């Protein structure tokens, strides 16, 4: 019997998925951890007798030290695409096989629009005040009240026009927005092929948009891409939406920019050092926060774990010894 540990199933839902049928008849025992383990020594102790690991996106980093300390480990499966949370060189050195899966652009695209609409119409503040007995109010103090706004006729800026960005653009057009794109040459070519405007100069792009949404991969080139100067180029009533990677923004830059008044608001699904890193943004009245829900929905989980469980079944049925 091979023991496989699934890390960070925060909601305790993996064991209930239909995808688990993929393991029917396999000589595999699943151990599902629902609470994150941040201290490296405690994590090594929890995983010491695991033959395989399944990672839920980037929730836990598996370092070279952890890999070296797990003598039974033969396979690590990453749900979705491989990311920076796994030391691939260490896996190769220690004979640990690595498998990944496919992504789902629809789920994060839909969440992007949930955030844009909720932030633009101020849905969460209205609901909170309604629960307190105040009708059509977003704050207890009338002096602090302000209205939401519609999106039709406004400009949507998409930074990174890939699979997700294209879906976001389609909805923006359906709502009557002008869609403009910024990014590298592939984004430019795809945007022009779709008949969308492309703005090459970064500050011109940032200064024209009412809503900016980021859809970029995290790499050395994009890390801390938006700093104080870029954010200061945005309009004082603009909304910045990030469902991609927190590290696209320089540390501290967004909160400082909001205090300075440019942009006017933000909606965030991703944070550095999750979940603790969300706290400083949750306290800001101009920021709408969600707990990294871009991939957290039924269909994506079923797809992710159907692939992951197939990898486990096939590997342990025929995989080479470590």
Boundaries of every domain in the chain? 2-103+297-318, 106-289
Summarised one tens digit per residue, pLDDT across range 100-157 is 998 889 999 999 999 999 999 999 999 999 999 999 999 999 999 999 999 999 999 9
Largest CA distance in the chain: 69
Q: Which spans in the chain are helix H?
A: 40-47, 64-68, 88-93, 106-120, 123-131, 163-174, 185-193, 202-208, 228-232, 253-260, 279-282, 298-318
Give the CA distances from residue 67 to residues 52, 59, 104, 107, 125, in Å, rounded to whole numbers and listed in that order: 11, 16, 28, 31, 45
Q: For 188-196, what is the mean pLDDT?
A: 97
pLDDT attached to residue 321: 53
pLDDT in the model for residue 309: 97
- Residue 83 burial by Cβ neighbours in a 10 Å radius (0-12, 13-18, 19+): middle
Residue in 269, 267, 273, 228 with CA at minimum distance from that of residue 250: 228
- CATH architecture, range 106-289: 3-Layer(aba) Sandwich (3.40)
Beta bridge partners of 197: 180
| 158: pLDDT strictly greater than 60 | yes
DSSP 201: S
Class of the 2-103+297-318 domain?
alpha beta
Average the pLDDT over 238-254 and give the result. 97
The one catalytic residue among 245, 262, 307, 311: 245
- Looking at residue 322, its pLDDT comes to 47
The sign of the dihedral angle between the CA atoms of 126, 128, 131, 134 is: negative
Sheet holding 75-78, edge to edge: 28-32, 2-6, 52-55, 75-78, 97-99
Q: What is the mean pLDDT of the chain?
A: 96
pLDDT at 279 over 90: yes
Q: Report yes or no: 198 and 191 within 8 Å, Cβ to Cβ.
A: yes
In this structure, of 48-52, 130-134, 162-166, 318-322, the range with the lowest mean pLDDT score is 318-322
Asked about 292 being catalytic, the answer comes back as yes
Give percent above pLDDT 90 in the chain. 95
User: How far, in Å, CA of 105 to CA of 73, rounded?
Assistant: 31
Confidence of residue 320 (pLDDT cuts 50, 70, 90): low
Number of neighbours of residue 50 by Cβ within 10 angstroms:
21
CA–CA separation, 44 and 60 (whole Å): 12
Q: Which of 274, 297, 302, 313 is catalytic?
A: 274
Active site residue 215: no
Cα of first residue to Cα of last residue in the chain, in angstroms, is 16
- Say whether the peptide bond before residue 275 is cis (omega within 30 degrees of 0): yes
The two domains 2-103+297-318 and 106-289 share their CATH topology (first three levels equal): yes
Number of alpha carbons in the 13 Å side-chain half-sphere of residue 148: 18
Catalytic residue, chosen from 22, 167, 292, 311, is: 292
Q: Is the dihedral of CA 48, 43, 81, 12 positive or negative?
A: positive
Based on the residue annotation, tell me whether 89 is a catalytic residue of this protein: no
């Amino acid at each position: 019997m091979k023991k496989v540990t699934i890390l960070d199933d925060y909601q305790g839902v993996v064991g209930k998925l239909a995808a688990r049928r993929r393991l029917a008849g396999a000589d595999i025992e699943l151990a599902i951890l629902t609470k994150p383990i941040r201290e490296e020594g405690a994590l090594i102790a929890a995983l010491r007798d695991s033959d395989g690991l399944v990672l839920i996106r980037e929730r836990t980093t598996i370092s070279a030290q952890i890999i070296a300390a797990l003598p039974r480990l033969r396979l690590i499966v990453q749900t979705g695409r491989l990311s920076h949370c796994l030391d691939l060189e260490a896996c190769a050195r220690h004979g640990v096989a690595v498998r990944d899966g496919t992504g789902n652009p629809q789920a994060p695209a839909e969440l992007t629009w949930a955030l844009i609409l909720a932030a633009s119409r101020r849905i969460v503040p209205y609901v909170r005040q309604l629960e307190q007995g105040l009708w059509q109010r977003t704050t207890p103090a009338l002096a602090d009240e302000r209205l939401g706004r519609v999106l039709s006729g406004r400009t949507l800026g998409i930074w990174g026009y890939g699979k997700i960005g294209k879906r976001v653009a389609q909805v923006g057009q359906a709502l009557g927005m002008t869609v403009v794109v910024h990014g590298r040459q592939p984004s430019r070519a795809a945007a022009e092929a779709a008949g969308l405007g492309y703005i090459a100069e970064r500050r011109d792009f940032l200064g024209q948009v009412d809503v900016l949404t980021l859809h970029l991969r995290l790499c050395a080139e994009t890390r801390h891409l938006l700093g104080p100067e870029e954010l200061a180029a945005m309009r004082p009533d603009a909304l910045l939406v990030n469902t991609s990677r927190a590290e696209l923004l320089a540390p501290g830059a967004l909160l400082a920019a909001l205090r300075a008044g440019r942009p006017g608001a933000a909606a965030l699904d991703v944070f550095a050092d999750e979940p603790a890193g969300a706290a400083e943004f949750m306290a800001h009245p101009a920021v709408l926060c969600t707990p990294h829900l871009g991939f957290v929905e039924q269909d994506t989980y079923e797809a992710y774990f159907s692939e992951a469980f197939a990898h486990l079944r096939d590997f342990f049925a025929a995989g080479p010894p470590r």
